Amino acid sequence: MRDRVGIVTALGVLAVLCAIAPLVGEFWSGVLARCVSWMFLAISFSLAYSYANIPSVAQATVFGAGAYAAVWATSLVGGNMILIMTAGVAAGALIALVFGALLLKMSHSGAAIGTIIFAVTFSMLGNAAVAYTGGTDGLPMPAQAFHLLGMPFAVGPNIGMLLLGSAVLAALLVAFWLFSGTRTWRVVRAVQQNAMRAQVLGYNAAGYRLAVFAVSGCVAGLGGALYALISRHVAIEVVSLSMSLKSILWAAVGGVTSIYGGPIGVLAVQLASELLLRWTVRVDLIIGLMLIAVALWMPRGVMGLRRSRSSQQSQ
Amino acid sequence: MSFGAFRALNDVSLDVGHGEIRAIIGPNGAGKTTFVNIVSGIFKPTSGRVTLEGRDITTLSPQRRARLGLARTFQITSLFKGMTVSEHLQLAVRDADADGETRRELLEQMGLAAFADREVDTLSHGDQRILEMAMAMVLKPKFLLLDEPTAGMSIAETDRMIRLIIERLRGRIGVIIIEHDMNVVTQTSDKVTVLAAGAVAASGLPQDVLRDPHVKEIYLGSAANH
Amino acid sequence: MKRISRRNVLLGSAAAATASLVPTAVTRVLAQGTSGDPIVIGHQCELTGWDSATGFWRDKAATGLVDWLNANGGIAGRPVRLVTVDTKSDVDTGVNQLRHLLIQEKVDFVIGAEISSIALASNTIANENRTLYMTMSSSEATTGKGAAVPYQFRMTTNSAATAAGAAQKYVESIGKRWATFFADIKWGQSERDWWQKGVTAAGGEIGRAIALPVDAPDLLPFIAQIDRSADGIFIPVLNALQAIQLLRSSGYDQQVVLAGLSFSLFDYRELGAVGDGVFGIETAPVALKDSASSEMAEIYKALGIDDDGIHTASGKAAGTSMIMGIAQSLGFVKANVEASGWKVKDDTAALIRHAETVETYAKGPLFPLGDVIVRPQDHQAFMDIYLLKIAGGAVGKYAVAPKESTIYPAEVDLTKG
Ligand SMILES: Nc1ncnc2c1ncn2[C@@H]1O[C@H](COP(=O)(O)OP(=O)(O)O)[C@@H](O)[C@H]1O
Ligand SMILES: [Mg+2]
């Protein structure tokens, strides 16, 4: 079941970002570029939560794995951005497969706690493995001549990376949209709603959930690689529990049951914090209140708004 | 079968032949659904074996059993929100059947054709239960487990279900039907097994078993409790 | 130095810090004796978040000393405008805030963050923007290989320098045999390594260094492994208070030395009775009598700190190493702007070339404790290191390690190319 309104909204948001980037200047282009990398993280949470039935509080760990993999890949193979992004995807998939295989052995609430334990453990490991992660200093992206499809590319918080990130994300969303009309996706939704029911119809529910979780890992890993290319420095905070919580906030604001809500959620929360920072040091408090309001009056996030208006079922 | 220290089923042995319809009756909490769950692979029995056509399937996952031709329905309607009737049947056939003809025919026969493109949430309770049946039947299983298929149905709907079972299942495949409605039992079943407190209390031809005073006591005694 | 939360130690001071937060952008131009366009200095500061205890002092120092500058002729006769932004102790926010300073506020100079991950992620960006970045990080890696950049100078000390200087002094006065009990994270590991080097160079020896995993639920099993025959124990750990308590209750009566700049992280009085006899390593003493410097007295006055080193408004013991770092960073900017004839931001490259020829910054209002030397190769400053000791509930000067003893080899040479 394809959600036309969702995909159009998400692509529209990305198109607007790219269109306004030259007008808003260097600073905001950089802010938006980083936001786009986080949209992958928000989407990966929605995928894991709503379609793999894994309430993952460890998505930032997967995102961070992609980011570190991007830095390692750069030191190993140089500035080929396709390879760097591939490394991020592979790292994300790998971590997600390992996590997923363990999480599927747990109950729903057990899995939520399990992901918290993963997030905290990996944060500690990252802190201790100074040789690989730079520990608390973080790892700088090696200075390289970066290139994309043979063309030189300036990485960093700039408009080029904003366009690249948006293009990759748009392609991903369109691919997802196409896929959401297939029989396979119908099975995913069936498994998500009632795994036992799907099993007695002959479907390997655990296999589907693991596959979806691995895909969510690929998405997070890709976002992490883009983040590393934009920030050019990966700190251990990227894999922290609080980063994962942020991803949940973004997904919640956008509407956690729709992967098209991620972009809106990231923009709403991050732009609000960025603007509030100019006026007050109590940003987190205000964002926190905002989120309580969302939870109370907009439980399905921005993407849920239209659903209550039209009766259309659209995930 | 034990849940912790609680023995839900104790030494229950049932042999249902090909083409036979076996009813299982018994008061609430007797362990009927637990039995269906064990046969369909949802629960692993603490001890004992499940065989399908002579093959031991005790260790197989529910999906493997389904693929071997073991289908079931649920006591509580378990349909997928937001999906249409025909999407449900597509799900049920997996990849085995690309041809929509069979499905359309089945919908006709089961009186669901008019609702093919409706989301299941908009169907009446009776039609939802019929759809559950259709999903279980569309792949022509070798064995079918029906857990209270007429639960919550009106008299007319129940009659429709009885006809369905007689016309489309009787003599074709092995069926276990859990029922409370004695009318359904006598009309559809070849044999009846009575479960009480996790054990077989009686077994035999419907007319014999239902006349058994001991069974009446178990049944009515418990039914009077609620 | 500290890079992860030490909530247990910080709770009290963090609450006080939040209560006295200043508005994010501080604009105070006292045009007394100054004229022309203001020179704009951005301050990327940990006003909130886990590092706000030290951010409190950097913010107080920057605000107070910019006011003082404006009241005393400004920089090159021009007024100074300070724009402070909050990193929230978070790397993404910190970097965004730096970009805000550079691109939107178009500041002339930046005083950078103290958290090493923020500082490391930021210096590349400032360098690209050709803006002088006075880093406040005390991770030696900041001026090391792969991180040092031409537009960055560090006028505060770092882990390598404090350990090198202090180790020599402590080996002389406490003894040759040392034990190290360190947090097994980047900071603890580098403190361990530099301490090892310093002690060995001074003719001492270190038995086994005991690593404390970050996730250790209980310190005791690790403490029990510490060599009992050691003369002194060096403890770069995050939960110093708990470590000292356990050391004492387990019968270790050795001298205990905290890692560099610990007294800027928490108020030494929080250690209470077990703090007695504990050593710290700072770039300045706390009580005015220990510095015997009229310039330091002037700074204390400007910042509202009494002679005992207590900040009157907040009641906290002054984080003097933070204050020194800010003062010397401002002093560096002032000296080089004035000496290189800097007028606009495009002149910064020339200012840096000039600064690389300046070896010594003589004692003065913004270098209150004596000459500071700056190594042109990696833009790292070296200054006297104060070894402090808690005695009778107050922290006093124990010894001074001269700046020469803190010098360690440079990893890069920015003057080439
Ligand atoms: N998953 C379970 N965990 C613990 N006890 C269960 C579980 N499922 C069923 N039971 C218990 O087993 C007994 C039989 O239940 P069930 O098979 O559902 O009865 P019936 O279908 O005959 O009404 C009941 O006492 C029920 O409470
Ligand atoms: Mg039942």
pLDDT digits (tens, 9 = 90+) for A111-151: 889 999 999 889 888 888 888 998 888 999 998 999 999 99
CB atoms within 10 A of CB B218: 21
Mean pLDDT of all residues in B210-225: 70
Q: Using a 6 Å cutoff on CB, does residue B3 contact ligand 1?
A: yes
Ligand nearest to the CA of B26: 1
> Quick check: is C170 in a domain?
yes
Tokens of C57: 């002092």
Measure the CA–CA gap between B15 and B12, rounded to whole angstroms.
Answer: 10
Most confident of A71-75, C194-198, C209-213, C263-267: A71-75
DSSP B119: B
| pLDDT over threshold 80, residue A277 | yes
B128 contacts B79 by C-beta, under 8 angstroms: yes
Q: Does ligand 1 have an atom closer than 6 angstroms to the CB of B188? A: no
Mean pLDDT of chain C: 90
Cβ–ligand 1 distance for B32 under 6 Å, the answer yes
Is the CB of residue B79 less than 8 Å from the CB of residue B89? no
Q: Is A151 helix (H, G, I), strand (E, B) or coil?
A: strand
Tell me which residue of B41, B134, B126 sits closest to B91, measured CA to CA. B134
What is the predicted pLDDT for the residue at C417? 67
Whole-angstrom distance, CA of residue C161 vs CA of residue C385: 9
φ, ψ at A198 (rounded to 5°): -65, -35
How many CA atoms does the CB half-sphere of B209 hold within 13 Å? Answer: 24
Q: How many CA atoms lie within 13 A of B5 on its CB side?
A: 0
**Per-position b or e across B51-75, b if 16+ CB within 10 A of its CB:** ebeeeebeebebbebbbbbbbbbbe
Going from N- to C-terminal start, the domains of chain B cover 2-80+139-225
For B66-99, the pLDDT digits (tens) are: 999 999 999 998 999 989 999 999 899 887 655 6
Average pLDDT over residues A72-79: 95
- State residue C112's pLDDT score: 98
Tokens of A14: 């990305």
CATH topology for B2-80+139-225 is Rossmann fold (3.40.50)
Closest alpha carbon within chain A to B92:
A201
Strand partners, C205: C177
Record the tokens describing residue C180, joined without a space.
């190290």
pLDDT tens column, B15-26: 898 889 999 999
Are the C-beta atoms of residues A26 and A158 closer than 8 Å to each other?
yes
**Looking at CA atoms only, how far is residue A203 from chain B in angstroms?**
5
Predicted local distance difference test score (pLDDT) of residue A107: 83
ipTM, interface predicted TM-score of the complex = 0.89
Atom 6, ligand 1: which residue's CA is nearest? Answer: B3
> B135, A201: Cβ pair inside 8 Å?
yes
| C385-391 sheet: strands from edge to edge | C205-212, C177-183, C232-235, C255-260, C279-282, C385-391, C394-401
Same domain for C19 and C144?
A: yes
Q: Which residues of C touch A238 (CB under 8 A)?
A: 91
User: Of the given ranges (A207-211, C198-202, C340-344), which has the lowest mean pLDDT?
Assistant: C198-202
Contact flag A137-C120 (C-beta cutoff 8 Å): yes
* Tokens 């599927």, residue located: A104
Q: Give the domain extent around C95.
A: 6-157+294-302+311-383
DSSP 8-state class, residue A80: B
Task: Indicate contact of C with B: 3+ CB pairs under 8 A.
Answer: no
Q: Of A257, A263, A250, A259, give the one whose Cα is nearest residue A294.
A: A250
**Percent residues over pLDDT 70 in chain A:** 97
Partners of residue C410 on adjacent β-strands:
none
Please state the rounded mean pLDDT for residues C195-219: 89
pLDDT in tens, C103-121: 999 999 999 999 999 999 9
Q: State the Cα–Cα distance between residues C301 and A122, nearest whole angstrom.
A: 47
Task: Compute the distance between CA of residue B37 and CA of residue B147 in angstroms, rounded to an integer.
Answer: 10
pLDDT tens for each residue of A184-206: 999 999 999 999 999 999 999 99
For A69, counting Cβ atoms within 10 Å of its Cβ (0-12 exposed, 13-18 middle, 19+ buried), the class is: buried
Predicted pLDDT at B222: 54
Asked, for residue C1, whether it belongs to a domain, the answer is: no
Q: What is the pLDDT of residues B102-158, one digit of tens each?
A: 778 888 888 888 998 999 999 999 999 999 999 999 888 999 999 999 998 999 999
Instruction: Give the pLDDT mean for C296-313.
Output: 96
φ/ψ of residue B185, rounded to 5:
-60, -50
Confidence of residue C320 (pLDDT cuts 50, 70, 90): very high
| Gap between the terminal Cα atoms of chain B | 26
Q: What is the pLDDT of residue B130?
A: 93
CB pairs under 8 A between A and B: 60
CA Rg value for chain B: 17
**Cα dihedral B28/B32/B33/B34 (nearest 10):** 110
Q: How many CB atoms lie within 10 A of CB B182?
A: 14
> Which of C172-186, C207-221, C356-370 is predicted least confidently?
C207-221
Cα(A217)–Cα(A225) distance, rounded to whole angstroms? 12
pLDDT at B214: 84
At residue A193, φ and ψ (nearest 5 deg) are -75, -40
* Closest chain C C-alpha to A91 CA, distance in angstroms: 22
Mean pLDDT of C326-336: 98
Task: State which H helix or E strand residue A271 sits in.
Answer: helix A262-277
pLDDT exceeds 70 at position C402 = yes
Query: So what's the pLDDT on residue C79?
Result: 96
Q: CA C64, CA C81: separation in Å to the nearest integer?
A: 12
Contacts of A19 (CB under 8 A, 6+ apart): none
Residue-wise pLDDT tens digits, A8-40: 999 999 999 999 999 999 999 999 999 999 999
Tell me the three state secondary structure of residue A223: helix
Gap between the Cα atoms of B177 and A127, Å rounded: 59
| Cβ atoms within 10 Å, residue C344 | 9
Is the pLDDT higher at B221 or at C102?
C102
C166 in the same domain as C145: no
Task: Inform me whether the C-beta atom of residue C159 falls under 8 Å from chain A C-beta atoms.
Answer: no
A interface with C, Cβ–Cβ below 8 Å: 25-27, 30-31, 34, 121, 124, 127-128, 130, 134-138, 140, 142, 156-157, 231-233, 235-238, 273-274, 277-281, 283-284
C86 and C147: one domain?
Answer: yes
- Cα B225 to ligand 1 centroid, rounded to whole Å: 17
Distances (CA, A) of A242 to A119, A245, C83: 9, 5, 28
| pLDDT tens sequence across C6-35 | 333 333 333 333 333 334 444 444 455 788
B174 compared with A279, residue with greater pLDDT: B174
Give strand pairing partners of C396. Answer: C389
Phi, psi at residue C399, to the nearest 5°? -165, 170
CATH number for C271: 3.40.50.2300
Q: Is residue C73 domain-resident?
A: yes
SS3 for chain C is CCCCCCHHHHHHHHHHHHHCCCCCCCCCCCCCCCCCCCEEEEEEECCCCCCHHHHHHHHHHHHHHHHHHHHCCCECCECEEEEEEECCCCHHHHHHHHHHHHHHCCCCEEECCCCHHHHHHHHHHHHHCCCEEECCCCCHHHHCCCCCCCCEEECCCCHHHHHHHHHHHHHHHCCCEEEEEEECCHHHHHHHHHHHHHHHHCCCEEEEEEEECCCCCCCHHHHCCCCCCCCEEEECCCCHHHHHHHHHHCCCCCEEEEEECHHHHCCHHHHHHHHCCCEEEECCCCCHHHHCCHHHHHHHHHHCECCCCEECCCCCECCHHHHHHHHHHHHHHHHHHHHHCCCCHHHHHHHHHHHCCCCEECCECCECCCCEEEECCCCEEECCEEEEEEECCEEEEEEEECHHHHCCCCCCCCCCC
Band (B220; pLDDT cuts 50, 70, 90): low
Whether A contacts C, i.e. 3 or more CB pairs less than 8 A apart, is: yes
Contact A124 C214 (CB under 8 A): yes
The domain total for chain C is 2
Q: Residue C1 — very low, low, confident or very high, per pLDDT cuts 50/70/90?
A: very low
- Give CA C312 to chain center in angstroms: 22
What's the pLDDT band for A307 if we cut at 50, 70, 90?
low
Highest averaged pLDDT of the listed ranges B107-116, B211-220, C228-237: C228-237
The C-alpha atoms of residue A101 and residue C171 are separated, in whole angstroms, by: 54
User: How deeply is B17 buried, as exposed, middle or buried, from its count of CB atoms within 10 A (0-12, 13-18, 19+)?
Assistant: exposed
Identify whether residues C130 and C171 lie together within a single domain.
no
Amino acid identity at C274:
V
Q: Which of A51, A186, A200, A313 to mutate to test the interface with B (most CBs of B within 10 A)?
A: A200
Q: What is the spatial distance between Cα C152 and Cα C123, in angstroms, rounded to a whole number?
A: 7
Residue with tokens 């609450």: C15
pLDDT of residue C15: 36
CA distance C356 to C381: 11
Instruction: Provide the H-helix boundaries in A47-107.
Output: 59-77, 81-103
* Chains B and A are in contact, defined as 3 or more C-beta pairs closer than 8 angstroms: yes
